[in-house]
Structure 1
Amino acid sequence: MCGMNGPSELEYVSAYLNRQDVMSSIHINGKKSQWKDFTESVQNAFQAFNSKPSIDILPDLLEQIPILIYHGEYDLVCNHWAAENMLDNMTWNGESGFDLGNGKVAPIYAWIVDGESAGYIRYARNLTYILFYNAGHMVPYDQARRSQAMLHQFIQLNLTYPNNQIGTNRKSNYAISIVFTVIVSIIVVIGAIWLFILKQQSTTYSPFKIINDEFVTFEDDVLV
């Protein structure tokens, strides 16, 4: 899990991609080369020895687009302490680190996925940081479901949390969903009767979202 060893399943991938029929179908000459999960020559070809460090590149990007940075707590290859130290000392969009100005610092929220503590999440000025619990260097491999939740949450919803409301638990969320379902059902029935009478179609659906500010939760592919 620490990241020093790759996923054990790669041996099956290697065996498959090195089959003669597979190599032939993708036009690879098996006599000259075979598939490997890591090749140093390829890495060196893509490595830019004189590239700028991330701390110099991220501030300009954060002025234009939102950025998500995540780490696994057990990652020894890219440890989260170094990343957090970099963010604390980086200046972007007018402030340093997670300083919000006026003596305020961006709070750290518990990140809940499927009712379980998945890590913690922090946001400031276009940058979101998530630390995954029980994950190493290969976060999507160690925590596939939670990685999907993170991606869906980031690309579909705004990850700012302007209020500091007390979060509801799963039972209260379930009760809210039941009430909402009943209300929607009544509205649909009334709408159907009305449409039948007037013989016209005019139905509009709007997304229903609950944003919980003390606990950031994700269940069934919907942020609740």
Structure 2
Amino acid sequence: MRPATVFLLSALIIGSLEAKPNIKNFFSKHFFKDVYGTIDANIKVGDAGKPLILTDLIQQDQIDEAQAAAEVKLDAFLGVKSYAGYLTVDEIYDSNLFFWFFPSQSNFEKDPVILWLQGGPGSPSEYGLFNENGPFFIKDNKLVLRNSSWTTSNSVLYIDQPAGTGFSFTNGGYAENQTKVGEDLYKAIYQFFQLFPNLQPNEFFIAGESYAGKYIPAAAYTILKKNPSDEIKINLKGLAIGNGLTDPKYQVMYADYLIQHGFIDPKSRDALKDFEKQVVESMNNEDWDQASNQIDVELNTINGLTGLSSLYNYLENYSDESDDGIGNLLSREDVRRAIHVGNTDYGDSAVYSYLSSDIPKSVAPLVAELLEHYRILIFNGQLDIMVAYPMTVDYLQNLDFVSAEEYKNAERRKWRYGSDVAGYIKSAGNLTEVLVRNAGHMVPADQPEWALDLINKFTKNNL
């Protein structure tokens, strides 16, 4: 399609919205949901048995038995020790979250524990495990050890959530807001530390990317509120949010960013800015369904205007087709038996549907309160359009938190890795903001060594 035709189409789309109060399904592509493509991991042949639900054993204080049952044993995993199974988080709806835990390869008894959450809504954490920071990756349908794994110096816990994501399942108990997300995650985290009581004193961090920019604050806020009264005190020390959508009112304002990078011309910029005013108006009116659909229209229009195949890293080509490597591995009968998921269906679409109206909502007030109690790392890949660095800075510049003025006046520092400038750091109080060079939406995938250096410095409070 010629550029003039693309612009005409976009102008018609934007111009017609004033007369189209109901714009649902205007486009079929959902850019936040489709960040990672799809993983077809449903079992094709054989019988992998039933899922291993550990909650009953944990509640009966049969911890040794639960650990033994959860241990993953399969030669394909190259001798890497891990534990996997299910934790019940909602008995009414039979909601069970799947976890896969990898003890630190250094000092398991003392190293930090990191919970990794993927985005979406509805993206499974197996993507991060195999494609970003786990102990191995997939090459030619075989597992290969990753030198830059976060498990080299941290214990890492991967959870598929909200219920209905990946291997996690529910009988209708889908999350429709971040309160439910936080409550379910808290129940899973609490049971995890019951299952591994020796790790309760270890420093605990929650990390993730993309839509986890909401999940992470939701989980941390729930911990903050429940820790004082619950028997087990979760030793939460910090949050690490990569390219996270947290405050859409600032973070989906793309027009100025796009023209500054040469992706659109002034005419398109002006049309897009006019439309963005409508998006903000919908947010201010708390018309969340409308705002969510408008964001979809905006991103699809940007995709058409720029012609870029990827809004997640504008220097790379991108395909949203299925991730066959992960899908092929996780659909194998022996793998499913080993990680104790049985014949559980692998899904994500329903999760997005239930949380779609949550997309335009802000959790910035949670972040502001959490900064009074925990260290928070906000890092962004330089090449991401979806959750671009300048708009994340806009949200932080407008964040009403205890060190707000200090942040606005803080000096920016170079972050070096060896002889390379890996990025730039700005800190104030408990907040650390980082730009990661030559990386897109998935920083650990694009710059694995730098990402490992960043998370290790953060957990050691050495940024």
TM norm. shorter chain > 0.5: yes
The aligned counterpart of 1:149 is 453
Whole-angstrom CA distance in 2 between matches of 1:48 and 1:7: 23
**CA deviation map 1:116-149 (0-9, x unaligned):** 0111010012100011111011111111111110
The verdict on how the C-alpha distance between 1:21 and 1:95 changes in structure 2, with shifts beyond 3 A counting, is: closer
Whole-angstrom CA distance in 2 between matches of 1:92 and 1:158: 22
Instruction: Could you tell me which runs of 5 or more consecutive residues in structure 2 were left unpaired when the two chains were aligned.
Output: 1-309
For 2:416, which of 81, 91, 112 is the aligned residue? 112
| Alpha-carbon contact 1:3-1:136 (below 8 Å) kept | yes
The verdict on how the C-alpha distance between 1:27 and 1:109 changes in structure 2, with shifts beyond 3 A counting, is: closer
Whole-angstrom CA distance in 2 between matches of 1:151 and 1:109: 17
The aligned counterpart of 1:28 is 342
Alignment of 1:148-167 (within 5 A): 148-159=452-463
Q: Shift in Å at residue 88 of structure 1?
A: 1.1
Whole-angstrom CA distance in 1 between matches of 2:406 and 2:337: 52
The verdict on how the C-alpha distance between 1:154 and 1:6 changes in structure 2, with shifts beyond 3 A counting, is: farther
Q: Which runs of 4+ in 1 moved over 6 A?
A: 6-9
The aligned counterpart of 2:402 is 93
Could you tell me which amino acid in structure 1 is paired with residue 394 of structure 2? N
Whole-angstrom CA distance in 1 between matches of 2:425 and 2:319: 26
Alignment of 1:1-224 (within 5 A): 2-3=311-312, 5=318, 10-25=323-338, 26-29=340-343, 33=345, 35=346, 39-45=348-354, 49=358, 53-93=362-402, 95-96=404-405, 98-99=407-408, 105-159=409-463
Q: Shift in Å at residue 17 of structure 1?
A: 0.8
Q: Shift in Å at residue 65 of structure 1?
A: 1.1
Whole-angstrom CA distance in 1 between matches of 2:452 and 2:349: 30
Whole-angstrom CA distance in 2 between matches of 1:9 and 1:139: 20
**CA deviation map 1:56-99 (0-9, x unaligned):** 21111111111100000111221111100111121211534723
Whole-angstrom CA distance in 2 between matches of 1:118 and 1:50: 31
Could you tell me which amino acid in structure 1 is paired with residue 440 of structure 2? G
Report the 3-state secondary structure (helix = DSSP H, G, I; strand = E; otherwise coil) of the residue aligned with 2:441. Answer: coil
Could you tell me which amino acid in structure 1 is paired with residue 376 of structure 2? I
Could you tell me which amino acid in structure 1 is paired with residue 328 of structure 2? A
Q: Shift in Å at residue 29 of structure 1?
A: 2.3
Q: Shift in Å at residue 8 of structure 1?
A: 9.1
Whole-angstrom CA distance in 1 between matches of 2:420 and 2:334: 45
Residues matched between the structures, number: 149
Whole-angstrom CA distance in 1 between matches of 2:439 and 2:335: 33
Higher-Rg structure is: 1
Report the 3-state secondary structure (helix = DSSP H, G, I; strand = E; otherwise coil) of the residue aligned with 2:367. Answer: helix
Whole-angstrom CA distance in 2 between matches of 1:7 and 1:137: 14
Q: CA RMSD in A?
A: 3.0
| Alpha-carbon contact 2:397-2:404 (below 8 Å) kept | no
Could you tell me which amino acid in structure 1 is paired with residue 410 of structure 2? A
The verdict on how the C-alpha distance between 1:44 and 1:9 changes in structure 2, with shifts beyond 3 A counting, is: closer
| Alpha-carbon contact 2:372-2:402 (below 8 Å) kept | yes
Could you tell me which amino acid in structure 2 is paired with residue 135 of structure 1? A
| Structure-2-length-normalised TM-score | 0.29
Whole-angstrom CA distance in 2 between matches of 1:8 and 1:47: 21
The aligned counterpart of 1:169 is none
The verdict on how the C-alpha distance between 1:12 and 1:117 changes in structure 2, with shifts beyond 3 A counting, is: same
The verdict on how the C-alpha distance between 1:2 and 1:112 changes in structure 2, with shifts beyond 3 A counting, is: farther
| Alpha-carbon contact 1:121-1:131 (below 8 Å) kept | yes
| Structure-1-length-normalised TM-score | 0.57
Whole-angstrom CA distance in 1 between matches of 2:460 and 2:420: 21
Q: Shift in Å at residue 24 of structure 1?
A: 4.4
After TM superposition, the structure 1 stretch with the greater mean CA deviation from structure 2, 60-69 or 6-15, is 6-15
The verdict on how the C-alpha distance between 1:2 and 1:74 changes in structure 2, with shifts beyond 3 A counting, is: farther
The aligned counterpart of 2:120 is none
